[in-house]
């Protein structure tokens, strides 16, 4: 039996984390957790009100995501979770000591993502917070072994790139 793999689909708001995670889950038949659903209600209310989250706001959310990852690994299950994971310290909280947790880093132009945010409806994250996300973003370093993808491509094409990158050499 091979070790389970957990994919963290990360990036700023509107990068397409959910679309890619759903596409991967459908193709791989792996459990998927929408990271935003694990936010405490106070975090959602704060963002809906146009306020950026602080590190202190994020720790309980990151701990919930880490708990989901830990439960999958303990059960010997693969999984996919979305999480902005903007800073290295956040990713360390989720990944360190877990060689089989991989980052899928979605990146794209600010203009493209701003247009996506302006076009979407029903999401708690207002377009006014995109600049704060970019300000906080610390792109993953090579030592974090990210699979980095430009989000200009459709989610289905990105999913194929991820699956190809996961295949053994």
Residue 161 pLDDT more than 60?
A: yes
pLDDT at position 119, please?
Answer: 65
As a whole number of Å, the end-to-end CA separation of the chain is 18
Closest to 71 (Cα-Cα) out of 34, 105, 104, 33: 33
Q: For the chain, which domains are there?
A: 6-166 (3.40.50.300)
C-beta pairs of 56-61 under 8 Å, 24+ apart in sequence: 58/90, 59/93, 61/35
pLDDT bucket at 57, cuts 50 / 70 / 90: very high
Could you give the angle at which helices 55-74 and 41-48 cross, rounded to 10 degrees?
A: 130
Instruction: For residues 17 and 34, give the distance between their C-alpha atoms in angstroms, rounded to a whole number.
Output: 9
Percent of the chain whose predicted confidence (pLDDT) is above 90: 62
Indicate whether 61 pLDDT > 90.
yes
Helix 55-74 × helix 88-95 angle, to 10°? 30
Is the pLDDT score of 74 beyond 90? yes
Tell me the C-alpha distance between 123 and 69, whole Å. Answer: 24
The Cα 126–Cα 134 span in angstroms is 14
* Length, in residues, of the chain: 169
- The confidence band for 14, taking pLDDT boundaries of 50, 70 and 90, is confident
Instruction: Say whether pLDDT at 169 is over 80.
Output: no
Residues in a beta bridge with 82: 9
At residue 26, the pLDDT reads 96
DSSP letters along 57-126, please? HHHHHHHHHHHHHHHHHHTT--EEEE----SHHHHHHHHTT-TTEEEEEEE--HHHHHHHHHH--S-SS-
Q: Residue 126's pLDDT is what?
A: 55
For 77-103, the pLDDT digits (tens) are 999 999 999 999 999 999 988 989 999
Average pLDDT of the segment spanning 19-36: 95
Report pTM.
0.88
């Amino acid at each position: 039996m091979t070790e389970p793999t957990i994919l963290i689909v990360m990036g700023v708001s509107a990068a397409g984390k959910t679309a890619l995670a759903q596409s991967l889950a459908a193709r791989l038949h792996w459990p998927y957790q929408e990271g935003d659903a694990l936010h405490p209600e106070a975090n959602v209310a704060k963002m809906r009100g146009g306020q950026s989250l602080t590190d202190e706001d994020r720790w309980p959310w990151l701990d919930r995501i880490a708990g989901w990852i830990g439960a999958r690994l303990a059960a010997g299950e693969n999984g996919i979770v979305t999480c902005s994971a903007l800073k290295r310290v956040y990713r360390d909280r989720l990944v360190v000591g877990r060689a089989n947790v991989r980052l899928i880093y979605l990146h794209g132009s600010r203009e493209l993502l701003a247009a996506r945010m302006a076009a979407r409806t029903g999401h708690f994250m207002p377009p006014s917070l995109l600049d704060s996300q970019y300000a906080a973003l610390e792109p993953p370093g090579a030592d974090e072994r990210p699979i980095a993808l430009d989000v200009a491509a459709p989610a289905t094409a990105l999913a194929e790139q991820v699956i190809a990158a996961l295949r053994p050499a």
